[in-house]
Amino acid sequence: MLAILLSLAVPAVAAAPASVSGVVQDGDHAPLMGALVELFGQGANPLLTSFTDIHGHYQFSNLDPGRYSVRVLQAYFIPARRKNIQVATSTHAVVDLTLTSLFSMSQWFPAMPRSADEPNDDWKWTLRSGVDRPILRWTDTLNHTSDPETSSTRHNAVHPVSVRGAFTGGSSQFGQGGLREEAWIRMGNRNPDGNVDGPTNETMMHFETSTAGAAFLAAGMERDPAPGDAVRAVATYRTLPVNYGTGLGRLQILQFRGGEQLALSDELVAQFGAETEAVQAGQTVTAALPFMAVHLQESGSEVSYRLATSSDLQELADMGSSGDVPAMAMQNGALQLTRALHQEFSIQRKVAGLQLEAAYFYDHLVDPVLNGYGDVSAAEFASGDVLLDPVTGAFRSAGPNYAGGGFRVFATRQLRGNVWTAVEYAEGPAIALPAADLLGSTSFVSALENVATTRTQSVLVSMQGHILGSGTRWNAGYRWQPVAAITAVDPFNTGLNAPFLSVMLHQPIGSPNSSPDRLELEFAMQNILAEGYRPIYVVAGQTLYFAQAPRLVTGGLAFSF
């Protein structure tokens, strides 16, 4: 009887289908959620499509034995493709992919081994695009040796250098006006897949200037001494024109950031670090802003604890971006840096195709920023409560201190086809402005006296998708909050859409089935209906507003090769 059962079981096992899965991440090892993953067979059109979950994971199941390729598409990143994936019956292939930012399309690599149809030469470096196409080569005769028996050249170990640049238009956000030119230079021994033999060492420099008279300079380093461990340090300097009541001057910001990640075990990872900043605008103020995070992953669930004192620096990955102007405002003629303490406990889990997250947070904010828009006059400056960006017209004032706990729940799921949807509900403290008199009887000082803390809610509904054949990618979301609220319900939750109605569209120009040599139109609108603007008062026909987020319209042309 046992022999008969075994003979029946063997064919059943042999007939089990194959599968392909993996993780998609960016150059900083952060998982990319919502990236489009396409599975190709021998034809030009994809056989199956999927979207990565919140951990960057994707999977294709019930595959026939054969040879496949996988392509990944994501906004602001260069498409990546892995070919010649051979799967047999009852086998599972793991294919992890790392996407390169559009601004990091080219890197210096050591010269690769020549194919049979390529001539031998003494090139030491090769400039290659994100799809590994050679663009430019450079030779260094001092660092190679020739083997007369093989007529080949041996090269010493070299460090790749990546360079990127960008031109961006103005916006109405504080400190972000004018036409900006940016350049990044990164040097290190990390290859495009993010893997090297031995510890990883990288250095980075970032330059930015604008027609508005602003400038930004950053220099940093990263070292990964062991798998799962990382050390980063960044120093930045920023200057921009401001008006703080005594006339037009310059705001100067000096920041030092440092942090470390430790893999305590395969399931437990800890991050910790701090930022020290000094700000000068007619006076000098300083602050120390530490952060800490602990993540425990087990059985498909992740439990996290976070402590942060700045929404711009909550984990190690935040050190790689320049961020916005730090949270600061004027109060009674003095420059104030926002002092905050954010603690959060969250649980993430995948249940029946849903990615679920529940979090409890507690915030304590001292001198929180109130964002305002309009033509500020001498009357507002006389109060000593206005820090104005003269380029965009955005201004900042300090709101009342508050403390309190809140919670949020989040769920995301892939619908039928290539569409993802997400829903989020949050409840917690915020700052609100009651109805104001628009006849001019309310002054700026009395408007500040009327703002007060309250408990309120916000609801987010978001969808994103991909249209096969055309390559169109889109993202639309609406985050509702009560009209009176002029600050975010959960100010440290910066991962999803801006408040109110926002839309993003990416449209490839050219063949959607070939990653290289194509252009993409990019278009985004934030707070399309200009909601959440709370009028303070009207004077001389001009209205001043408090608002959590401005209405923005941006667009551009991206290219990859």
Per-residue pLDDT reduced to its tens digit, 85-132: 888 888 888 899 888 765 444 333 343 444 444 444 444 343 433 333
Q: Is the pLDDT of residue 13 over 50?
A: no
- Check residue 453 and give its pLDDT: 92
pLDDT for res 16: 62
The predicted-structure confidence for 307-349, as pLDDT tens digits, reads as follows: 999 988 888 888 766 667 888 888 888 888 999 999 999 999 9
* Contacts of residue 124, Cβ cutoff 8 Å, sequence gap at least 6: 110, 111, 138, 139, 140, 143, 144, 155, 158
Do 458 and 489 touch, CB atoms closer than 8 A? yes
Token look-up 């309190």 returns: 404
pLDDT band at 509 (very low <50, low <70, confident <90, very high): confident
Interval 355-382 mean pLDDT: 88
Q: Measured between alpha carbons, how far is 170 from 556 in angstroms, rounded to an integer?
A: 12
Look at residue 86 and give its three-state secondary structure: strand
What does the longest C-alpha to C-alpha distance in the chain come to?
A: 97
pLDDT computed for residue 409 by the predictor: 95
Asked if residues 60 and 50 have their Cβ atoms less than 8 Å apart, the reply is: yes
pLDDT (tens digit per residue) in 427-475: 999 999 876 555 455 678 888 888 899 999 999 999 988 887 777 888 8
In what helix (H) or strand (E) does residue 449 lie, and over which residues does it extend? helix 444-450
Task: Mark 505-543 as b/e (b = at least 16 C-beta within 10 Å).
Answer: bbebeeebeebeebebebebbbbeeebbbbbbbbbeeee
Higher pLDDT, 283 or 199: 283
Q: Is the pLDDT of residue 491 over 70?
A: yes
Q: What is the DSSP secondary-structure string of 146-213?
A: EETTTTEEEE-----EEEEEEEE---SSTT--S-EEEEEEEEES--TTS--SS-EEEEEEEEEEETTS
pLDDT reported for residue 246: 67
State whether residue 310 is helix, strand or coil: coil
Integer Cα distance of 393 and 371 in angstroms:
11
The yes-or-no verdict on residue 153 having pLDDT over 50 is no
Q: In this structure, what are the phi and psi dihedrals at residue 260, rounded to the nearest 5 degrees?
A: -145, 145
Q: Fill in the DSSP letter of residue 487.
A: S
**Domain ranges for the chain:** 2-98, 103-155
Q: How far, in Å, CA of 379 to CA of 445, rounded?
A: 10
Taking alpha carbons only, the member of 164, 154, 165, 163 closest to residue 110 is 154
Region of poorest pLDDT, from 204-213, 397-406, 438-447: 438-447
Identify whether the C-beta of residue 473 lies closer than 8 Å to the C-beta of residue 466.
Answer: yes
Residue 368: pLDDT band by 50, 70, 90 thresholds?
A: very high
Beta strands (DSSP E) in 17-65 are 18-25, 36-40, 46-51, 57-63
The pLDDT of 356-384, averaged and rounded, is 88
For residue 72, give the nearest of 28, 131, 18 by alpha carbon. 131
What mean pLDDT do residues 141-165 have?
A: 42
Q: What is the pLDDT of residue 114?
A: 45
| Angstrom distance (rounded) from CA 126 to CA 112 | 8
Q: What pLDDT is stored for residue 497 in this prediction?
A: 55
| Sole residue written with tokens 């507002």 | 380
- Rounded to an integer, what distance in angstroms lies between the CA atom of residue 518 and that of residue 308? 41
Checking if the pLDDT of 42 tops 60, the result is yes
How would residue 495 be classed by pLDDT, with cut points 50, 70 and 90?
low
pLDDT at 539: 66
Nearest to 521 by CA among 476, 474, 561, 464: 474
3-state secondary structure of 32: coil
The pLDDT of 526-541, averaged and rounded, is 80
> What is the rounded average pLDDT of the residues 288-304?
90
Whether 284 shows a pLDDT value over 70: the answer reads yes
Q: Does position 301 have pLDDT exceeding 60, yes or no?
A: yes
What's the pLDDT score for residue 116? Answer: 45
Instruction: For strands 334-337 and 284-298, give the pairing.
Output: unpaired
Of residues 338 and 27, more confidently modeled: 338
Which pLDDT band, with edges at 50, 70 and 90, does 510 fall under?
low
Name the residue type at position 145: T
| 422 and 412 Cβ atoms separated by less than 8 Å | yes
pLDDT score at 78: 74
Q: What is the pLDDT of residues 411-427, one digit of tens each?
A: 999 887 788 899 999 99
> CATH classification of 2-98, choosing from 2.40.30.10, 3.40.50.150, 3.40.50.300, 2.60.40.10?
2.60.40.10
More confident residue, 175 or 52: 52
